[in-house]
Structure 1
Amino acid sequence: MSSTSPLAGKLSQIFSPRVCIFVSTIILAIGVIFTSLAGSFEAFVLGRVVTGVGAAGIFTVSIIIVLELTGSKRRGVFVGLLNSGYTVGVAAGATVAGALLPHVGWRALFWLQAPLALFGGTCLLFSIPHDFTAGKNSTSQGSIWPRLARIDYLGAVTLTLSIVLFLFALSSPKKIPVIPVVLSGIVLITFILNEVYIARDPIIPVTLLKSRGLLFTCLGTVGYMMSRWSVLFYTPVYALAVRDWSPATAGSVLIPTNGGFAIGGLLVGWLHIRRQGSFYIPSLVVYTLFPLTLMLLAQISTPHSSATLFIFTVFFNGFVTGAALNYTLAHLLHLTPKSTHYIATSLIATFRGFAGSFGSAIGGGIFTRVLRASMEDGYRDSGIDPEGKESLIRRVLGSPALVSGLNGVDGKVAVGGYVAALRSLWVAAAGCAALMILVQASTGWTAAKEEADVEVVSGQDHVHGQVQDEER
């Protein structure tokens, strides 16, 4: 998903966003059907890859559509609505899946998504205007085959390979292997050189990242959302393993945090983001509140802490996240020229996709390593050789629901291990989020200067002329 998001943005300029988002829903439907039919782990992973390619198109193109079909006064509200749609889907999906899993099995949970995706894609196909195009540049002109030939396929492949190698290394359950990290760096350098010197139409215009505001906004988004994904992935794990809640109840933990996300984005969009201009101070305020919620989560993630306090904390974590994404996007549009808003917002969508991959892999690596070490130490403290418990440790690492069935020393060690792992994960996430305050502060508050004659460079595409008004 994160690797193909830039490619989805490029394709939306060739085939129009309307067609791209419809085709993306078809690809997603194929992916979930293939996943449900998988007879091996390798086939399962391949199905998830196909699903991710489809999700990339939906995620990226939807942001482009909303930004281009709304004006500055309504943009904050509609971005908030879009983010609310994402977060409601995440919460509903987790809750429904937890309730249905014991009754229909995991395969049905995947193939049931296919008709929903196709229905949504069909609705989008007929609701988006036929003449709607993404941006006004030469990429959308001329016959289709020359435009397809201009796509930066080498950039797409090297970017994907670099990310996969990096995440493979950082998600290791024992220790981080060096070779994949080194190879990832080499491939990343190849990608950058290709974007700067070879690609006619770079998949990510590296030259645009010379803009301080855009560069630090993208980096801040990655770090912030990496920390946010630790909440989305691991609050249900806490509910399952530490509180011994049912799968459906554990999944419903995401309802308050995603409800907070929706409310935060909508409120700031409705009440505050009703103008063009700087949102520097509001962005820093919500960036500062976010790591405080993570530190509180780390402190209260125990078997006997207040469930009400835990629910309120995850709600407030979601609230400040929704507000932060809306504020920082509005501030970015203030920092960059109007003529670059299309590319800038596409890059934000791309980096948000990176954050999901990085957050799940890096956070999962931290969590798993601490959990294993804590359980091994727990058995040693109880006078038991952890090597004799290796099989159980391995199963507990992969299944938090297994903890509720353990008794005696095994149950005590497993719960203690999960508490230690969750605390370590959320403290690390808070540290990352605190660093992002400085990154966001580095974006500055000075508006971009508009010139009468603007040149936008995207590979060899040049757009000259008066800056167009952003509202249609």
Structure 2
Amino acid sequence: MNHLSQQQKVTIMIALMAAMFFASINQTLVSTAMPRIIASLGGMDYYSWVITAFMLMSTISTVLVGKLSDIYGRKPFLLVGIIVFMIGSFLTGLSADIYQMIIFRAVQGVGAGILMSTTVTAVGDLFAPRERAKWTGIMMAIFGFSSILGPTLGGVMIDHMAWKWLFWIFLPLGIIAFIMIWMMFPKATRSSVELIDYWGSLVLSASIVALLLGFSWAGNKYAWDSAQIIGLFGATVIGIITLVLIERKADSPVLPLSLFKNSIVTISLSVGFLMNAGMMGAMIYMPFFVQGVEGLTPTQSGFVNIPMSITMIVLSTLVGRWISNSGKYKRFGLIGIAVMIVSMLLMANMHSVAMAVVSMTVFGIGLGLSMSVFTLTVQNVLPPTQLGVATATSTLFRNLGGTIGIAIFGSVMNSAMMRNLEQAMTGGSGVDLSRADPETAAQLSKLMDPRSLMDQPLLMELQSKLPEEAQPLFAQMVDMLRTVLRDTLSTVFLLGAVLVGLGLVLTFFLKEIPLRTTNDTAPDTSEPNLQPAKAH
């Protein structure tokens, strides 16, 4: 797209930003409201599955569309991504039970994976890495803005209207984004004819499904040493070995093995994986602290995220400009990840809403400094002809990290919660239900899961049904559950800090090479195996 004028490129960027905002606002809108939505559907045990299904399908569609967009261009996939995401959003709003929501969120995930990956790749088509950093920072700021508006608006909506409107309210924006992409984005011409790697795509998708299902079910639905989990992980290993054999002979591999022979690529992918795995602890389980432990409403919970989003917007925009001006990027990755670790240590020691706000603000600073760095490093070191594969692979590892992180955190949270609850009941802080009459004891026994604190209408209903003499017992049980939930969340946040800490260690070994100032030439690097796929 080097033939386009700067004004044309800016016009196309407006269309891409509209598509980015449409995808991101629909994801952030439900973040604070999701616990209430799932509680109302009666499937809190499947809380992580709703998120995992979305991430699973997003991950698969991301990596598959990367190579295809290198062949056929970005425009058709941008349009398809918007359509699929809109269909998924509409159907999710019609969900009658938790199982339908999981299925329809999976459809949403397909569209999101296509849309988010292709949008970032399209920015790379328009600008060389040196200038790309500035525009990538702006795109991250768009995502940050949706992180401000989404949770807050989602909290207000879930408090005052039917939850289905959270998935429907921005559908008109999808139509606008579709029209803008259709009219403004240029159609790419195929410079060569490449064979589609069907077998590689199939085996890669199957391997991802087996891997993520194994992590999602282990320690929750099945024991870690059960035949089901061992079978899934075994299938993953077999799938990876088969994939390597296929990709070694494929003329146009969906996941070129040459990528992983470059140290800059492997380190960047590993850091992105660890960052997203650790980050999910903060993004997914902070509402459990704010709403469950502190008793705030979803609306108030949304306000807690605003400082984080503001700092992320400001830092993302500034870092993009700083990288474009200096050509240096490693320092921002190191500082940003270190700040994220500090924020997660603060989360592990939270005892008030004020501390939650401070920790999320620090977290936003870390995200803003480091979020776009490790995708930029991968794009910079690979030839422009592999831009789609580079971006998709980077997004793949981030999504894998996020999905596996959710599964691990969910397993850790369940086991830690059971252990803490048992200790609380056998210790001095336990609630003795034998002192209550049978009817009151039966009512209070419904609260034996600390996650019930997320369903505030249920708590109010139970409290209103209890006699006056049982109110102190109710208050004692709620206090005990909040203590159990707080201690459990501290374990989750500490685990997140450890994972992000591993990413910091790896970043020290990242080789920093100059950012290219053009998309016409291959990168200047001594790393081997950077040749694009063979064409026919």
Q: What is the TM-score normalised by the length of structure 1?
A: 0.84
User: Judging changes above 3 Å, is the alpha-carbon distance between structure 1 residues 198 and 308 closer, same or farther for their aligned structure 2 residues?
Assistant: same
Match of 2:45 in 1: none
Match of 1:283 in 2: 333
Q: 2:235 aligned with 1:160, yes or no?
A: no
Match of 2:235 in 1: 187
Q: 2:297 aligned with 1:297, yes or no?
A: no
User: Judging changes above 3 Å, is the alpha-carbon distance between structure 1 residues 75 and 398 closer, same or farther for their aligned structure 2 residues?
Assistant: farther
Q: In 1, distance between residues paired with 2:173 and 2:199?
A: 31
Q: 2:409 aligned with 1:363, yes or no?
A: yes
Alignment of 1:11-22 (within 5 A): 11-22=68-79
User: Judging changes above 3 Å, is the alpha-carbon distance between structure 1 residues 91 and 155 closer, same or farther for their aligned structure 2 residues?
Assistant: farther
Match of 1:255 in 2: 306
Q: In 1, distance between residues paired with 2:494 and 2:172?
A: 40
Match of 1:214 among 253, 265, 285: 265
Higher alpha-carbon deviation: 165-174 or 360-369 = 165-174
User: Judging changes above 3 Å, is the alpha-carbon distance between structure 1 residues 48 and 105 closer, same or farther for their aligned structure 2 residues?
Assistant: same
User: Judging changes above 3 Å, is the alpha-carbon distance between structure 1 residues 204 and 182 closer, same or farther for their aligned structure 2 residues?
Assistant: farther
Q: 2:487 aligned with 1:441, yes or no?
A: no
User: Judging changes above 3 Å, is the alpha-carbon distance between structure 1 residues 233 and 336 closer, same or farther for their aligned structure 2 residues?
Assistant: same
Q: Shift of the alpha carbon at 1:126?
A: 2.2
User: Judging changes above 3 Å, is the alpha-carbon distance between structure 1 residues 166 and 88 closer, same or farther for their aligned structure 2 residues?
Assistant: farther
Q: Is the 8 A contact 1:173 1:368 kept in 2?
A: no
User: Judging changes above 3 Å, is the alpha-carbon distance between structure 1 residues 225 and 365 closer, same or farther for their aligned structure 2 residues?
Assistant: same
Q: In 2, distance between residues paired with 1:332 and 1:79?
A: 14
Q: In 2, distance between residues paired with 1:180 and 1:118?
A: 43
SS, match of residue 86 in structure 1: helix
Q: Shift of the alpha carbon at 1:127?
A: 2.5
Identity value in percent? 17
User: Judging changes above 3 Å, is the alpha-carbon distance between structure 1 residues 281 and 32 closer, same or farther for their aligned structure 2 residues?
Assistant: closer
Q: 2:531 aligned with 1:456, yes or no?
A: yes
1:253-302 deviation per Cα after TM superposition (whole angstroms, max 9, x unaligned) = 222212222222111111233354x5333322222222111101211x21
Q: Is the 8 A contact 2:154 2:166 kept in 1?
A: yes
**AA in 1 matched with 2:400:** F
Q: In 2, distance between residues paired with 1:168 and 1:185?
A: 12
Q: Shift of the alpha carbon at 1:122?
A: 2.6
Match of 2:418 among 358, 372, 379: 372
Q: Is the 8 A contact 2:70 2:389 kept in 1?
A: no
Match of 1:82 in 2: 139
Q: Is the 8 A contact 2:264 2:381 kept in 1?
A: yes
Q: Is the 8 A contact 2:272 2:397 kept in 1?
A: yes
Q: In 2, distance between residues paired with 1:99 and 1:40?
A: 23
Match of 1:411 in 2: 478
Match of 2:6 in 1: none
Question: Over aligned residue pairs, what C-alpha RMSD do you find?
Answer: 3.0
**AA in 2 matched with 1:292:** V
Match of 1:322 in 2: 368
Q: In 1, distance between residues paired with 2:276 and 2:176?
A: 29
User: Judging changes above 3 Å, is the alpha-carbon distance between structure 1 residues 197 and 241 closer, same or farther for their aligned structure 2 residues?
Assistant: same
Q: Is the 8 A contact 2:343 2:359 kept in 1?
A: yes
User: Judging changes above 3 Å, is the alpha-carbon distance between structure 1 residues 174 and 263 closer, same or farther for their aligned structure 2 residues?
Assistant: farther
Match of 2:286 in 1: 235
1:40-96 deviation per Cα after TM superposition (whole angstroms, max 9, x unaligned) = 332221111111101100111011011121233421121111122223223422221
User: Judging changes above 3 Å, is the alpha-carbon distance between structure 1 residues 398 and 404 closer, same or farther for their aligned structure 2 residues?
Assistant: closer
SS, match of residue 59 in structure 2: coil
Q: Is the 8 A contact 2:336 2:369 kept in 1?
A: yes
Match of 1:466 in 2: none
Alignment of 1:95-134 (within 5 A): 95-131=152-188
Q: Is the 8 A contact 2:431 2:477 kept in 1?
A: no
1:221-278 deviation per Cα after TM superposition (whole angstroms, max 9, x unaligned) = 11112222222222222111122212111022222212222222111111233354x5
Q: Structure 1: where are the runs of 5+ without partners?
A: 140-146, 464-472
User: Judging changes above 3 Å, is the alpha-carbon distance between structure 1 residues 14 and 293 closer, same or farther for their aligned structure 2 residues?
Assistant: same
Q: In 2, distance between residues paired with 1:123 and 1:151?
A: 35
**AA in 1 matched with 2:404:** F
Q: Shift of the alpha carbon at 1:449?
A: 4.8
User: Judging changes above 3 Å, is the alpha-carbon distance between structure 1 residues 392 and 240 closer, same or farther for their aligned structure 2 residues?
Assistant: same
SS, match of residue 158 in structure 1: helix
SS, match of residue 444 in structure 1: coil
**AA in 1 matched with 2:275:** Y
Q: In 2, distance between residues paired with 1:97 and 1:177?
A: 40
Alignment of 1:134-149 (within 5 A): 138-139=193-194, 147=195
User: Judging changes above 3 Å, is the alpha-carbon distance between structure 1 residues 116 and 282 closer, same or farther for their aligned structure 2 residues?
Assistant: closer
SS, match of residue 182 in structure 1: helix
Q: Shift of the alpha carbon at 1:26?
A: 0.8
Q: In 1, distance between residues paired with 2:331 and 2:511?
A: 10
Match of 2:8 in 1: none
Q: In 1, distance between residues paired with 2:236 and 2:270?
A: 16
Q: Is the 8 A contact 2:85 2:108 kept in 1?
A: yes
Q: Is the 8 A contact 1:3 1:354 kept in 2?
A: no
**AA in 2 matched with 1:298:** A
Match of 1:224 in 2: 275
**AA in 1 matched with 2:294:** R
**AA in 1 matched with 2:329:** F
Q: Is the 8 A contact 1:236 1:253 kept in 2?
A: no
**AA in 2 matched with 1:456:** Q
Q: In 1, distance between residues paired with 2:233 and 2:488?
A: 29
Match of 2:94 among 29, 34, 37: 37
Q: Is the 8 A contact 1:280 1:331 kept in 2?
A: no
Q: Is the 8 A contact 1:38 1:44 kept in 2?
A: yes
Match of 1:467 in 2: none
Q: In 2, distance between residues paired with 1:326 and 1:12?
A: 21
**AA in 2 matched with 1:32:** S
User: Judging changes above 3 Å, is the alpha-carbon distance between structure 1 residues 11 and 360 closer, same or farther for their aligned structure 2 residues?
Assistant: same
Match of 1:205 in 2: 256
Q: Is the 8 A contact 2:141 2:312 kept in 1?
A: yes
SS, match of residue 3 in structure 1: helix
Q: Shift of the alpha carbon at 1:158?
A: 1.3
Q: Is the 8 A contact 2:339 2:362 kept in 1?
A: no
**AA in 2 matched with 1:400:** M
Matched positions, count: 445
Q: In 1, distance between residues paired with 2:337 and 2:447?
A: 40
Q: Structure 2: where are the runs of 5+ without partners?
A: 1-57, 435-440, 464-473, 515-522
**AA in 2 matched with 1:257:** M
